[in-house]
Structure 1
Amino acid sequence: MFPIRLTDHLDDDRTRIVPIAASGPLSHEAGELSAEIDALAEGCAAAGDVTLLPRPLRRPRNVVLVGVGAGDEAGWRAAGAAAIRDVGPGEPVQVMLPGEGAPDAVRGLAEGLWLGGYRFRDGREDRRSAAVELISPAFSAYVESMALATASARAAWLARDLTNTPSSLKNPAWLAEELVGAAAGRTGVEVRIRSGAELDRFGGLRAVGGGSVSPPCLVEMSWSPAGARTHVALVGKGITFDSGGLSIKTREGMKRMKVDMGGAASVAAATLGAAELELPVRVTALLPLAENAVGAGAYRPGDVITHYDGTTSESTNSDAEGRLVLADALGYAAAELDPDVIIDLATLTGANTVALGHRTAALYSHNDDLAAALAEAGRRAGEQMWRLPLPDDYREHLSSDLADRHSSPIRGAGSVVAALYLADFLGDKADAWAHVDMAAPAWAEATELEITRGATGWGARTLLRYLERLSA
């Protein structure tokens, strides 16, 4: 990421960004610019509004007024994203901070600057040459806010980079190695990769990955700080490309299926963020990685699959592959890890988009407290989700004559039934589990607020906020 520094030194050779609220300028010092700013402030106070203050032959060379709306964290995040897009890449920038202590404002602003300034290239190079400076006479009070913003934005950038990478490069082995590299040097983070015979009990993962020349694998990433009293298992769907298998997708339905590992990317990024912040919460991330391809080894509609927990699923649609790999990982987490909480994140169903549109994920849980905590974490992160029901009478849609359950019924309520299917693999951990179907918000067709066109990295910041609250 490009650098953002805290300082108390004004530099007239940099573009100056002045935040504006309904009450007027919020910076600690407007100086000689006060009259000019006041004249324009009323028209640019809404969050993300940007106005260039004309400065012919005067210094600073440019002044940009940017609205923060109500002045909450979301407003500052929108302001940061809008401002960084307006000045363009490489422009040296200073942003005036509020005169009074406002740690949430600083976190929102810094996250917005980084998220709005994101550009995908090859996932490695910095996209901006000049550092951004945040100006305050009391900048030392914002060091913790900047640390939180850095970890959150870094997690989102990593998730976006991995998800945006084309599947001509990204197969299960590539993604696993990228995660090993991302974890390198992180004290307390361990990564284990299972493949080949080590996947014998993971029947869903082996079935889904069986049609590809790129074999499947399971990545287990753990952050285990000393003294942690809570253990959270995070499970992320990791289909590096989804052709639909033998139940092949349409051309339109297939062209963005590099995004189908977005859940795995966000889960891994949040785990690394927890390590960066040294949160006192134990986190185990499970990432079942596979490519769902058409090939001689592809699993067939009508196949019966035996999962990690020994139960079976009848599959009549090989394009409902995500729930099969998640079933194995959830069964493993419940049986072997004994976590206090299990959360899975998945680009699971098109029904998520039908029900909730393109910006909102579907949230499922039997646990009211867990659901409320995740929804609040999403609200603070700026990632929307809406809780949907898990009605017992819909379980009849999962009944099968050949297996313990049917994985892909033809009837409606597709996102709900998929969640009920996953709940079947949790055993006595069902009341400690939440499922987030983030198929809709994982990709953005247009740039808006802190979201840039392309992969959004949705979920990484929400999960990190949730883990922060657990450690408070």
Structure 2
Amino acid sequence: MLEIRLAVEQTVPDTLALPVGKGARTGESGPGGELLPTAYAADRAVREEALAFISDVEHTGGAGVVHTLARPLASPRRVLLTGVGAGDEAGWRAAGAAIARSARQQPSVTVGLPAAVDPAAVRGLAEGLWLAAYRFRVATEPPDKAPKLASVTIVVDETGRYEPALAVARAVAEATMLARDLTNTPSDRKSPAWLAERIREAAASHPGLSVVVREPEQLTAEGFNAILAVGNGSVRPPRLVELSWQPPQARTHVVLVGKGITFDTGGICIKPRDGMRLMRKDMGGAAAVAAATIAAAALNLPVRVTALAPLAENMASGTAYRPGDVVRHYGGMTTEVLNTDAEGRLVLADAMAYAARHLDADLLVDLATLTGAQSVALGKRTAALYSDSDPLAEALAEAATAAGERVWRMPMPDDYRDALDSDVADLVNSTQVGAGSVMAAMYLREFAGTLRDRWAHLDMSAPAWADSPDRELVKGATGWGVRTLVRWLDRVAGEAPSGVPVEAAAS
């Protein structure tokens, strides 16, 4: 992991990054960037060259825009003039990502921050640096192609003010990278048992976390029949992971449920080849909820969190479940299986029914790479948000915006509900309505029980994977949802179970 440290000392680096904001200067092509004064006291020659260069290249100061000033016979040898936009946390996050990419072949870089800048700038900058520097490879990378960037020094006017923000950024980045690692891992090694053990190992380094892994015998005894049905076609049987963080000062209990299909062939309703190519990502929801819970423990957030990760491999075989089968879920509800490729909602339903009946939760949120319809409606970077609770939906949307992960709230029309009815069971798992993401959310709502008005569903199928680098995202798994959940859990920690801020509830 990239080393990032805070410092006040003034050494001359080989590579220096200086921030450029959107200033009032106007040229022929529009508003220009403004070189911001920083705690790093660059000498007069550097600043004069930088100012002239900014004007020559018409630097806009836009967040994440980098122009490199080469100084081969001087020190620093290169200056990365990096746009921070309006200077908010998002702008600094984009700047951090841009610096990580621009300096990837340099062993180290020094970044100057404006004096008395808000600590959120350090959090954004560090998250951007860490997340954009992330790498996942199974093969050994040739030395001449491997990135060399190993350390970043952030120069501030005082370190004490910014150390908490850097610690938070580190915990969130580590959790996001854990989710990325789990999701990127090829499915030939990522069985349900393997994934359960990796979650157990990651949790072991954080005191206060407990893990229970239900194996097939326990799933059978307790009635988690949908998880068993989905996993029945594979020689690698399913698991249910229950990861718990229970700080004594917690006022609220949040249950997070994440879809954990370690590979999805579609089952008997088999997918075409191209539809299976990236199905190692189909456990991205499980990775996100587990990693966010670990981050809550790392940050000692005073909120109780239980993460449920139903893990199964959906394979086509002589023992696979079939279209037309009726599955009895945990708690007794039944589903007629019309499409074995709509398996994610089946395993989520078992876990949600368990949470609603036995975990005494105040809030229930599920994350899932659930439907292709989500990307049709909202594209690659925006997850679909469903909830009957306006306060919960608004809080999650605000957390997503702050984290740099977009969501858009979607409807659940009452007149669509009848399409979920079955002639032989309580529900069907697939309909002809056409609104695939909407109908999946409405199906899941049936299993929220008494938490129905305190439940939210995030369909994050497309945002879980990036086809190319994009700011703090790298190609591959994004770890989507970890940052949103940690921001939201931090907010929940300061609220009463009703969602009212603690101060107001006390009065």
TM exceeding 0.5: yes
The match for 2:35 is 25
Inter-CA distance 322–290: structure 2 relative to 1 (3 Å threshold): same
Q: Give distance in 2, aligned partners of 1:317 and 1:254.
A: 16
Q: Give distance in 2, aligned partners of 1:349 and 1:386.
A: 15
The match for 2:505 is none
2:14 counterpart of 1:14: yes
Structure 2 unmatched runs, 5+:
24-33, 495-507
2:50 counterpart of 1:37: yes
2:165 counterpart of 1:165: no
Q: Over residues 199-258 of structure 1, what are the superposed CA-to-partner deviations in whole Å (9 max), with x where a residue is unaligned?
A: 121111000000001000000000111111110000000000000000000111110000
The match for 1:140 is 160
Whether the aligned pair in 1 keeps the contact of 2:251 and 2:493 (CA below 8 Å) is: no
The match for 2:309 is 287
Letter in 1 for 2:474: T
Q: Quote how far apart the aligned CAs of 1:197 are.
A: 1.8
Q: Give distance in 2, aligned partners of 1:221 and 1:127.
A: 35
Inter-CA distance 353–347: structure 2 relative to 1 (3 Å threshold): same
Q: Give distance in 1, aligned partners of 2:333 and 2:205.
A: 39
Q: Give distance in 2, aligned partners of 1:286 and 1:122.
A: 28
Q: Over residues 285-325 of structure 1, what are the superposed CA-to-partner deviations in whole Å (9 max), with x where a residue is unaligned?
A: 00000000011210000000000010100011100000000
Letter in 1 for 2:47: S
Whether the aligned pair in 1 keeps the contact of 2:216 and 2:228 (CA below 8 Å) is: no
Q: Quote how far apart the aligned CAs of 1:140 are.
A: 1.6
The match for 1:438 is 460
2:78 counterpart of 1:62: yes
Q: Give distance in 2, aligned partners of 1:289 and 1:47.
A: 39
The match for 1:96 is 112
Q: Over residues 101-134 of structure 1, what are the superposed CA-to-partner deviations in whole Å (9 max), with x where a residue is unaligned?
A: 3111111000000011111125999976622110
Whether the aligned pair in 1 keeps the contact of 2:116 and 2:157 (CA below 8 Å) is: no
Q: Give distance in 2, aligned partners of 1:159 and 1:66.
A: 29
Q: What TM-score does the superposition give when structure 1 sets the normalisation length?
A: 0.97
* Superposition map of 1:334-353 within 5 A: 334-353=356-375
Q: Give distance in 2, aligned partners of 1:128 and 1:466.
A: 35
Letter in 2 for 1:103: P
Q: Give distance in 2, aligned partners of 1:336 and 1:303.
A: 27
Specify which of 100, 116, 123 is matched with residue 132 of structure 2.
116
Q: Give distance in 1, aligned partners of 2:301 and 2:35.
A: 36
The match for 1:412 is 434
Q: Give distance in 2, aligned partners of 1:388 and 1:15.
A: 46
Letter in 1 for 2:82: V
Q: Give distance in 2, aligned partners of 1:254 and 1:56.
A: 49
Q: Quote how far apart the aligned CAs of 1:12 are.
A: 2.2
* Superposition map of 1:190-339 within 5 A: 190-200=210-220, 201-339=223-361
Q: Quote how far apart the aligned CAs of 1:90 are.
A: 5.3
Q: What TM-score does the superposition give when structure 2 sets the normalisation length?
A: 0.91
Letter in 2 for 1:155: A
Letter in 1 for 2:131: L
Q: Over residues 313-355 of structure 1, what are the superposed CA-to-partner deviations in whole Å (9 max), with x where a residue is unaligned?
A: 0011100000000000000000010110000000000000111
SS in 1 for 2:2: coil
SS in 2 for 1:140: coil
Q: Give distance in 2, aligned partners of 1:421 and 1:239.
A: 18
SS in 1 for 2:474: coil
SS in 1 for 2:471: coil
The match for 2:501 is none
Count how many residue pairs are aligned between Structure 1 and Structure 2. 472
The match for 2:87 is 71
Letter in 1 for 2:177: W
The match for 1:373 is 395
Letter in 1 for 2:272: T
Q: Quote how far apart the aligned CAs of 1:89 are.
A: 4.5
State which drifts further: 395-404 or 8-17: 8-17
Q: Quote how far apart the aligned CAs of 1:139 are.
A: 2.0
Letter in 1 for 2:108: P
Q: Give distance in 2, aligned partners of 1:381 and 1:338.
A: 28
Letter in 2 for 1:463: L
Q: Give distance in 2, aligned partners of 1:86 and 1:376.
A: 31
Inter-CA distance 446–296: structure 2 relative to 1 (3 Å threshold): same
Letter in 2 for 1:211: G
Q: Give distance in 1, aligned partners of 2:96 and 2:298.
A: 23
Q: Give distance in 1, aligned partners of 2:337 and 2:197.
A: 31
Letter in 1 for 2:150: A
Whether the aligned pair in 2 keeps the contact of 1:348 and 1:437 (CA below 8 Å) is: yes
**Percent identity of the aligned residues?**
56
Q: Give distance in 2, aligned partners of 1:136 and 1:255.
A: 46
The Cα RMSD (Å) is 1.6
SS in 2 for 1:401: coil
Whether the aligned pair in 2 keeps the contact of 1:118 and 1:127 (CA below 8 Å) is: no
Whether the aligned pair in 2 keeps the contact of 1:2 and 1:128 (CA below 8 Å) is: no
State which drifts further: 17-26 or 284-293: 17-26
2:67 counterpart of 1:51: yes
SS in 2 for 1:68: strand
Letter in 2 for 1:183: A
The match for 2:415 is 393
Q: Give distance in 2, aligned partners of 1:40 and 1:272.
A: 45
Q: Quote how far apart the aligned CAs of 1:30 are.
A: 3.1
Structure 1 unmatched runs, 5+:
none
Q: Give distance in 2, aligned partners of 1:59 and 1:40.
A: 16
Whether the aligned pair in 1 keeps the contact of 2:261 and 2:314 (CA below 8 Å) is: yes
Letter in 2 for 1:225: P
Q: Give distance in 1, aligned partners of 2:459 and 2:48.
A: 50
Letter in 2 for 1:47: A
2:446 counterpart of 1:403: no
Q: Give distance in 2, aligned partners of 1:266 and 1:124.
A: 27
